[in-house]
């Protein structure tokens, strides 16, 4: 009984890993399917080899009835020749397996990172502990910056140019791409074509300090029309506040320290070292996946970011309750 329960629990645990929005086996692009296929192939092959070795060890330990253990000092040319063949062919087989697996994974890398034509170029810069996302266009008036949430059109090749502003980070959206480091002073390129619409979660995959675990990224793959609509919305400047509370919020934001770090396009706030907040209200999450977006969570974040992401590079700023309310209301309205 206990054994069966354990087995069922084990199977459940294993299978529950097979679906979800951050899962390399639940693939949504040819590239991630290829990586998943390689993983499965490696696993099966290595399990087979492991099992064969275990069987051989078992057989060797048991020895054969009626046959004395081979005395290493006696000379038996027949036995030595046979052992030579076995060891020789196993060494050759090992070499072949290692070479084939190396070849396959090299071909896989070429496929993931090799040059391809592209429809959308997105520059992603890792910061401790958030992602800066810049859409580049030939027409500079259509380039813009956002953070932590990337939108891409389904079926179109997208080129991510990865970089870092501080330590090494690693960009990984398991359902869509392979994993690639973001390194200071170097541009790594990752291409991907999403095959079906969806919201895919990713995560920084290179330990980068205190809040490494709270360095999530969201990729929203959507139809070309939805993508264009989203992009036009993001290119636009921030919406003007429509009531007194929000006007107060904008004033408090622009006059205080917030504006030294954050940009809100269309206002005086032009800080460049923190996430662009021009359309922060349109994002699904706050602070790289730490909290779902809502007015209440905005207030919770602003009043004490360190209680949510200890060690974060945003200071706790003293605000009156009215200012806090007004700023949260204003930021939430920035769709």
Which of the choices ligand HEC, Cu ion, none does residue 125 contact, using the CB cut-off of 5 to 8 A by kind?
none
Binding residue (CB under 6 A) for ligand HEC from 154, 217, 314, 334: 314
Binding residue (CB under 5 A) for Cu ion from 112, 147, 192, 208: 208
User: Looking at beta carbons only, is 143 or 325 nearer to ligand HEC?
Assistant: 325
Distance separating alpha carbons of residues 181 and 228, to the nearest angstrom: 29
User: Looking at beta carbons only, is 169 or 309 nearer to Cu ion?
Assistant: 169
Token digits of residue 60: 């060797």
With contacts defined by CB under 5 A, name the span among 115-123, 163-171, 179-187, 227-235 that binds Cu ion. 163-171
Binding residue (CB under 6 A) for ligand HEC from 129, 160, 200, 227: 129
With contacts defined by CB under 5 A, name the span among 87-95, 164-172, 179-187, 316-324 that binds Cu ion. 164-172
In degrees and rounded to multiples of 5, residue 132 shows phi and psi of -90, 135
Neighbour-count burial of 181, counting CB atoms closer than 10 A to its CB (0-12 exposed, 13-18 middle, 19+ buried) = middle
Q: Directed axis angle between helix 295-303 and helix 321-332, to 10°?
A: 130
Q: Pattern of binders to ligand HEC over 273-302, x per CB under 6 A? A: -xx-x--x-----xxx---------x--xx
Distance separating alpha carbons of residues 149 and 220, to the nearest angstrom: 7
Instruction: Decide: is 212 part of the binding site for Cu ion (CB under 5 A).
Output: yes
Distance separating alpha carbons of residues 286 and 265, to the nearest angstrom: 19
Which positions from 205 through 234 interact with ligand HEC, judged by CB under 6 A? 211
User: Looking at beta carbons only, is 118 or 181 nearer to Cu ion?
Assistant: 181
In degrees and rounded to multiples of 5, residue 262 shows phi and psi of -105, 145
Helices (H), 115-261: 224-235, 244-255, 258-261
Instruction: Decide: is 262 part of the binding site for ligand HEC (CB under 6 A).
Output: yes
* CA distance readout (Å), 153 to 110, 156, 158, 225, 229: 23, 6, 8, 8, 11
C-beta atoms surrounding 330 within 10 Å? 28
Which positions from 215 through 274 interact with Cu ion, judged by CB under 5 A? 215
The 10 Å CB-count burial string (b at 16+, else e) for 127-145 is: bbbbbbbbbeeeeeeeebb
Instruction: Decide: is 204 part of the binding site for Cu ion (CB under 5 A).
Output: yes
Binding residue (CB under 6 A) for ligand HEC from 154, 173, 219, 327: 327
With contacts defined by CB under 5 A, name the span among 2-10, 144-152, 199-207, 303-311 that binds Cu ion. 199-207
Q: Which residues bind ligand HEC (CB under 6 A)?
A: 129-130, 147-148, 211, 253, 256-258, 260-262, 274-275, 277, 280, 286-288, 298, 301-302, 309, 312-315, 317, 327, 331
């Amino acid at each position: 009984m206990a054994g069966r329960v354990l087995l069922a629990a084990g199977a459940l645990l294993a299978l529950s890993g097979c679906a979800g929005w951050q899962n390399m086996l639940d693939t949504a692009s040819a590239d991630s399917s290829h990586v998943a296929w390689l993983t499965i192939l490696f696993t099966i092959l290595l399990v087979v080899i492991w099992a064969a070795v275990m069987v051989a060890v078992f057989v060797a330990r048991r020895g054969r009835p009626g046959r004395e253990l081979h005395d290493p000092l006696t000379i038996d040319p027949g036995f030595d020749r046979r052992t030579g063949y076995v060891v020789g062919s196993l060494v050759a087989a090992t070499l072949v397996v290692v070479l084939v697996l190396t070849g396959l994974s090299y071909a896989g890398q070429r496929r993931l990172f090799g040059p391809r034509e592209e429809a959308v170029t997105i520059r992603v810069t890792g910061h401790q502990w958030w992602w800066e996302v810049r859409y580049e266009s030939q027409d500079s008036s259509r380039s813009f910056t956002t953070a932590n949430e990337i939108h891409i059109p389904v079926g179109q090749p997208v080129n991510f140019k990865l970089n870092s502003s501080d330590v090494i980070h690693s960009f990984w959206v398991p359902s869509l791409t392979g994993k690639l480091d973001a390194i200071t002073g170097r541009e790594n390129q990752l291409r991907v074509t999403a095959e079906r619409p969806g919201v895919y979660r990713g995560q920084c995959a290179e330990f980068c300090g205190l809040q490494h675990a709270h360095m999530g990224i969201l990729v929203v793959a959507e139809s070309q029309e939805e993508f264009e609509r989203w992009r036009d919305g993001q290119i636009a400047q921030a919406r003007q506040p429509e009531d007194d509370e929000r006007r107060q919020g904008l004033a408090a934001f622009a006059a205080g320290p917030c504006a030294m770090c954050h940009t809100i396009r269309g206002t005086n706030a032009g800080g460049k070292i923190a996430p662009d907040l021009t359309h922060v209200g349109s994002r699904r999450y706050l602070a790289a996946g730490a909290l779902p977006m809502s007015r209440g969570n905005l207030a919770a974040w602003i009043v004490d970011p360190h209680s949510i992401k200890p060690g974060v590079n945003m200071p706790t700023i003293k605000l009156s309750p009215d200012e806090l309310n007004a700023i949260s209301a204003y930021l939430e309205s920035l769709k």
